[in-house]
Chains A and B, each alone.
Chain A
Amino acid sequence: MLPGRRNAEPVARDSGKRPAAVRRAIRSELATDTPPGSAPSIPRRRDSIEPIVALEHVSLAFDRPILEDVSFTARESDTVVIVGESGTGKSTILKLLLRLLVPDRGRVLIDNQDITSLSFDEALEVRQRMGMVFQGAALFDSMTVFENVAYPLREHTDMNEDEIEQRVREKLQFVDLDPDLVMEQMPAELSGGMRKRVGIARGMANNPEIMLYDEPTSGLDPLTTNTITRLIMKLQRELNATSIVVSHDIRSVFRMATKVALLNNHRITFFGTPEEMTASEDEYIQDFLGGL
C-alpha cells in the first residue's frame, strides 16, 4: 500500500479490470506513435537476442538499504523504463550501470562483461559506449552550449574542429534547437526544456549504443514533456540504441517503453511489457497506474 493511503477511501474497482475509457486511452496513446521497426540510420553490428545490459541480484546499501536483489535485463533496441516511488533507488541503478557506484553484492553486466571488477580506466572505455542524460541536464556551467555538446567528442575522438562543429550542429538540430541561436549561449541563459534538450544532444554526441535517462520529463510542462518523449523515441529509432529510462511519468512510460520495471521497496516487483502491466491484478500496480 502506498504510505499516504492508509486512511483513504478504497479505490473502487470492478474485479480488477481497468475502466473501459482508460483502456481506450492507453490503446490510443500506444497507437499514435510511429511503430518500431523503421530502418535505423545507424546499423548495429550485432543482431543477437543476448541482453546488452543486465543487473544480476544486485544489492546496495549505504546507511540504509537502497537496492535488494535487483535483477533485470535489456536487449538490444529495448527501451526499459524503470518506475517506482521517489527515492527508491532508481537513479542508483543508473549510477551502477555507469559504474559510478559499485554494488555490495551481485553483478552488473554491460554486453556480457562484468563491469564491477574493472579498474577506473577500463570502466572509462565502457562508459564511452553509453550516453547519459542527467535529471537537471548537468550541463557544465562554465562552457557554452557548443562546448558542452562538443565535450565528449573532444575527449574521446580525434575529430578536427570542423567535424566537431558539424556533429554538434547535427545533434542540436536533431533535438529541435536552432544551432546558430543556442550554440554560443551559456546554460544559465536557457530554459529548462532547452537545457534538457542540450543534455540529450550531449548524451548522444558520440552515437552511443546505450542511452540512459534520469527522469527526462520531470519538472517540465505537459507540452515540453510531450516533445521530450517524442525526442527520446526518435532517438531510439534512429540511433537504434538500447535505452534505460528512469521516470515518474506513467503516460510517457506507456508511449516509449518496450519493457517496464517497477521498483518497490528496494526490489523489482514487476518486469514485463506495458500491456502486461496494465493487465496485472497486483494491487500496488493498480494503485500506481491509478495516476494514469
Chain B
Amino acid sequence: MAEQPSGPQSGVNRTAVSGTALALSGLVRRLSLRPDRTRLPAILRRLNDAAKSKVLSLQEYFVLAAKSLRFIFARPFYAQDVVQQMDEIGVQSLGIVLLTGLFTGMVLALQSSVQLKTFGATMYIGNLVSASMIRELGPVLAGLMVAGRVGSGIAAQLGSMRVTEQIDALNTLGTDPIKKLVTPRVVAALIMVPVLTIIDDFIGIIGGNIIAAFVVGLPSGQYWRTVWDQMASDGFTLRYIPNDFLQGLIKPFVFGALISVTACYFGLNTTGGTEGVGQSTTRTVVTSSILILVVDYFITQLLLSLLANG
C-alpha cells in the first residue's frame, strides 16, 4: 500500500488507514457483519465521523510523538537547531520561572506559617515548603508557565510556517519537517524543563527561607536543616537519590515532552490562515495545561505506590 506522505497534512481530511485495517474492514463489510456506512441515519453518521476524527487526531498525535522520539537517533542531526531551541525554551523562560518559584515559595511559607502557628510547629516550615515545591508545585507550576510561554511560541511559529507553505517547502527541498522542526524542540524541552524545574524548586525554597526569617523569625540554619531532613526522610533510591528528587525530576521530564509534542502537533496541523494560527496557539496552551495536571496525578499515584513499596 502506498505510504502516505509523512508529516501531518494541512487541511486534509484523509483517513490514514493502514493496509490491514482496510482489508479487514472490507472483509467485515462483505460478510455483512456491519451495515454499509451510507445506510446509517444522518445523525449516527455525524457521530461516527466525529468519533473517527477524534480517534484519528489521537492517532496522529501519538505517531508524531513516536516519530519525533525515534528521530533523535536518526541522521541528519540538527544539533544547531537543538542548541537554538534550548536557548529559546530554557534561557528565555528563566525570568518567569524565577518569579514563579520565588513567589510560590513565599506564599507557601506565609500560608503554612499561619496554620503551623496554631500547633506551635513553625519550625517545620522548611519541611513543608521543600516537600511541596520539590514534589508538586515546582514541576507543575514550572510546567504550566513553560506550557504557556513556550507552547504558544512553538505552536505560533510552526503554525505560521504551515500557513505560509514553508512546511511544504521543507518537504519539497527534501527535509523531513519532523526531523528538522519537531525533534530539536522535543530534545530541547526534555533537557531544559527539568533544569528550569530545579531552578524553580531552589528559588522557591529560598523564598520560603525569606518568609521564615522575616515573618516567623526562624533562623536560616534551622530552616535549611529541616529542608534537608525532609528530603532525607522520604527515603532514598539506589542509596543516593532522594525519592523526592525522583518525583520532582521525572515529572518535568514528562511535562517537557508533553508540552513540545502538543505544541508541534497543533502547530503543524494549523489550517485557515492567521486565524488558524491563533486557534492553534490557544488550543496548545489549553491542552498542554490540562494534560500536565491530569498526567501529574497519574505520575504521582504511580510513583507513590512504587516508592512506598520499594
Interface residues of A (CB under 8 A from B): 62-63, 95, 98-102, 116-120, 123-124, 127-128, 130, 132, 134-136, 138-141, 151-152, 155-156, 202
Interface contact A134-B169, CB-CB below 8 Å? yes
Interface residues on B, range: 20 to 34
Q: How far is the CB of A89 from chain B (nearest CB, A)?
A: 13
Residues A134 and B6 in contact in the complex (CB < 8 Å), given A128-B174, A155-B175: no
Which residues of B, 151-185, contact A by the 8 Å Cβ criterion? 160-161, 164-166, 168-176
Q: How far is the CB of B1 from chain A (nearest CB, A)?
A: 9
CB-contact partner of A135 in B165, B171, B172, under 8 A: B165
Interface of A is mostly: loop
Q: Apart from A128-B174, A135-B165, what are 11 other A-B pairs with CB-CB below 8 Å?
A: A62-B12, A100-B5, A101-B9, A118-B2, A139-B166, A140-B161, A140-B169, A140-B170, A141-B161, A155-B173, A202-B173
Interface contact B165-A124, CB-CB below 8 Å? no
Interface of B is mostly: loop
Interface contact B171-A100, CB-CB below 8 Å? yes
B75 within 8 A of partner (CB) = no
Residues A138 and B169 in contact in the complex (CB < 8 Å), given A62-B14, A155-B174: yes
Q: 14 A-B pairs, CB-CB below 8 angstroms?
A: A62-B12, A62-B14, A98-B171, A98-B172, A100-B168, A101-B12, A120-B6, A127-B172, A128-B174, A132-B172, A138-B169, A141-B164, A152-B174, A155-B173
Q: How far is the CB of B170 from chain A (nearest CB, A)?
A: 8
Residue of A nearest to B11 (CB): A62
Complex alpha-carbon distance, A196 and B227, angstroms: 62
Interface contact A141-B166, CB-CB below 8 Å? yes
Interface contact A101-B169, CB-CB below 8 Å? no
Interface contact A101-B165, CB-CB below 8 Å? no
Complex alpha-carbon distance, A117 and B9, angstroms: 18
Which residues of chain A are near B14, meaning CB under 8 Å?
Answer: 62
Which of B160, B164, B172: most chain A Cβ within 10 A? B172
Q: Contact flags (1/0) for B130-170 with A, using CB distance below 8 Å?
A: 00000000000000000000000000000011001110111
Which residues of chain B are near A63, meaning CB under 8 Å?
Answer: 13
Q: How far is the CB of A179 from chain B (nearest CB, A)?
A: 20
Residues A134 and B165 in contact in the complex (CB < 8 Å), given A127-B174, A155-B173, A155-B174: yes
Interface contact A117-B2, CB-CB below 8 Å? yes
Residue of A nearest to B5 (CB): A100
Interface contact A134-B168, CB-CB below 8 Å? yes
Residue of B nearest to A205 (CB): B173
Complex alpha-carbon distance, A140 and B166, angstroms: 6
Q: How far is the CB of A101 from chain B (nearest CB, A)?
A: 7
Complex alpha-carbon distance, A156 and B174, angstroms: 8
Q: How far is the CB of B153 from chain A (nearest CB, A)?
A: 13
Q: How far is the CB of A129 from chain B (nearest CB, A)?
A: 11
Which residues of chain A are near B164, meaning CB under 8 Å?
Answer: 136, 138, 141
Q: Contact flags (1/0) for B97-135 with A, using CB distance below 8 Å?
A: 000000000000000000000000000000000000000
Residue of A nearest to B161 (CB): A141
Complex alpha-carbon distance, A88 and B3, angstroms: 26
B4 within 8 A of partner (CB) = yes
Which residues of chain B are near A95, meaning CB under 8 Å?
Answer: 168
Which residues of B, 168-220, contact A by the 8 Å Cβ criterion? 168-176
Complex alpha-carbon distance, A136 and B172, angstroms: 15
Q: How far is the CB of A229 from chain B (nearest CB, A)?
A: 22
Which residues of chain B are near A156, meaning CB under 8 Å?
Answer: 173-174
